[in-house]
């Protein structure tokens, strides 16, 4: 099978990405709207990475770098395209981006209930840090 085409998302991709996440991503985020994704792409044009095959969006990952830490979000692969190396290609692109920016360690947001994702992250060399617990506070409504 041919390797996916990996590229950064642009403004023209945002509606397609949002629709893709409704099909392929596990769970939802407070930022899963056009304005939220638009802000991401405007602030950091290389952070939202797409995988395409034959012109079709088949995977995404957000590779955010704040100058200190490397954060991975929204690794999602189309359900009919899983186990074809798409997630691995996206993670490789994200990690290359981080290294080029000076990053030294990446962390990933992974839902506790998403056991399939746990296997994928483990296979990619990531592991949970049991000493950390995520604390959140919504800043709007």
Secondary structure (DSSP) of the chain = -PPPEEEE--GGGHHHHHHHHHHHSSS--TT-SHHHHHHHHHH-TTSEEEEEETTEEEEEEEEEE-SS-EEEEEEEE-GGGTTSSHHHHHHHHHHHHHHHHT---EEE---TT-HHHHHHHHHTT----TT----------
Query: Which residues of the chain are under the pLDDT cut of 50?
Result: none
Q: How confident is the model over 22-43, as pLDDT tens digits?
A: 999 887 777 778 999 999 999 9
Q: What is the pLDDT of residue 141?
A: 63
pTM of the model: 0.92
């Amino acid at each position: 099978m041919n390797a996916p085409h990996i590229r950064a998302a642009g403004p023209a991709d945002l509606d397609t990405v949002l629709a893709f996440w409704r099909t392929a991503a596990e769970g939802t985020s407070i930022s899963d709207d056009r304005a939220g994704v638009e802000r991401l792409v405007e602030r950091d044009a290389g952070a939202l990475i797409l995988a395409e095959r034959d012109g079709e969006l088949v995977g995404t990952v957000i590779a955010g770098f704040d100058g200190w830490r490397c954060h991975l979000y929204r690794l999602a692969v189309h359900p009919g395209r899983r186990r074809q190396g798409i997630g691995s290609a996206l993670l490789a692109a994200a990690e290359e981006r981080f290294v080029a920016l000076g990053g030294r360690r990446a962390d990933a947001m992974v839902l506790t209930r998403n056991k399939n994702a746990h296997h994928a992250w483990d296979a990619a060399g990531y592991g949970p840090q049991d000493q950390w617990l995520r604390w959140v506070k919504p800043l709007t409504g």
